[in-house]
Amino acid sequence: MKRVLLAIALLSPLLMLAQDKKKKGPKTFDLIVGAYTSEKSTGISVYRFYAETGRLAYLSQSDDIPNPSYLAIDKDNKFVYAVSETDDGQVYAYSFEPKNGQLTFINKQKSNGAAPCYISVDEDRKNLFVANYSSGSLAVLPVNENGSIQPASQMIQEKGSGINKERQEGPHVHTAFLSPDEKFVLYTDLGTDKIHVTKYKSGQKPPLTPAEPPFIKVAGGNGPRHLEFSLDKKHLYAVEEMSARVTVFDYNKGELKQIQEVTMLADGFTGKVGAADVHISPDGRFLYASNRGDANEIVIYSIDQGTGMLTFVHRFSTRGKTPRNFVIDPTGNYLLVAHQDSDTINVFKLDTNTGKPTAMVSSTTAGKPVCLKFANATEKD
């Protein structure tokens, strides 16, 4: 009996340490970076992100894809999917090894449209959803068990135009976003000021069918771009590229009802705008939206946990040009910004109580970065 008690006494500190380590979670993650290819960037890059310091360290690069401007990672952290934003749009599949950040090409398929700019994958890895910007269409590409992509099984071609004759001469599908329960796929059309809603069933042919109602319109000339759901799944937020606004909707089983629209612009601002990306902090308390053009900043709003409505908190310079995309790390302590036109990824420390940045803690050179994706949190050897 004494030996048993002694063993328990010796093991207790180790068990407590293991539990504490599990509670705290991993301290390193993989950051996968999509870019417009140039002399400084020839494909998809992978970095290790150290959440204790906010430091990035280069791991690897895949050089076989032109303009991998948007990425999707499956939930098991095994595969990376990328659009190739060219006139002859392509979709690439890679296997991913998180321990060393290596990407291995599997295969590619046509996106059946021009300039694909967004891609998403469902949790069961049955289908990819691809937004073809220039041709104004949405493509569904089935995925095999080994991660490879099949040819498109469904195409939805939009029609129409908007009030801005230069930017909205035709449809421009910009995102393909799964609802939290994955019963719906929502996609924005910058060219017609619509957010479309489709029902999704992975085993059905075709997998997407129009919801009722099939879309909701935003104000003319807004140009809806990216979407984000609230943590409680009751609200949807759309960043409007052309007007630099954020539109708030109540969401219920595929139905949208607009309840608020807020500007991202400072009082008296008269420069060029180009709202780009939108994300919510992991605790669901703050919404962040990026604005390119002459602003080059991120605007922060607090989220009313009851109504979902936004209140302005703060705006800050991202210290670079054209913050097309940004991401909040899984711990919620850092915000990383990709600057397309100054070739940098800047890392800001966040005050999780106020939502505001406290300092820029690091900056990494990267050629024309336009998409940042964290692989699922994984302990590293």
Query: Does the residue 118 lie in any domain?
Result: yes
How many domains would you assign to the chain?
1
Query: Does the residue 143 lie in any domain?
Result: yes
What digits encode the pLDDT tens for the residues 115-149? 999 999 999 999 999 999 999 999 999 999 999 99
What digits encode the pLDDT tens for the residues 204-246? 999 999 999 999 999 999 999 999 999 999 999 999 999 999 9
Query: Does the residue 258 lie in any domain?
Result: no
Query: Does the residue 379 lie in any domain?
Result: no
Query: Does the residue 25 lie in any domain?
Result: no
Whether 371 contacts 19, CB under 8 Å: no
Given this model, what pLDDT does residue 39 score? 83
d(Cα 127, Cα 104) in Å, to the nearest integer?
20
Query: Does the residue 156 lie in any domain?
Result: yes
Given this model, what pLDDT does residue 27 score? 84
Query: Does the residue 163 lie in any domain?
Result: yes
Query: Does the residue 77 lie in any domain?
Result: yes
- The boundaries of the domain holding residue 85 are 64-217
CATH number of 88's domain: 2.130.10.10
Given this model, what pLDDT does residue 40 score? 82
- Average pLDDT per block of 10 residues along the chain, 381 residues long: 47 47 68 93 94 96 95 96 98 94 97 98 98 98 98 98 98 98 98 98 96 98 98 98 98 98 97 98 98 98 98 98 98 98 98 98 97 76 42
Whether 344 contacts 365, CB under 8 Å: yes
d(Cα 237, Cα 309) in Å, to the nearest integer?
10
Residue with tokens 């850092």: 334
d(Cα 358, Cα 333) in Å, to the nearest integer?
10
Q: Considering Cα of 110, then 112, then 113, then 117, what sign does the dihedral take?
A: negative
Given this model, what pLDDT does residue 24 score? 55
d(Cα 195, Cα 350) in Å, to the nearest integer?
31
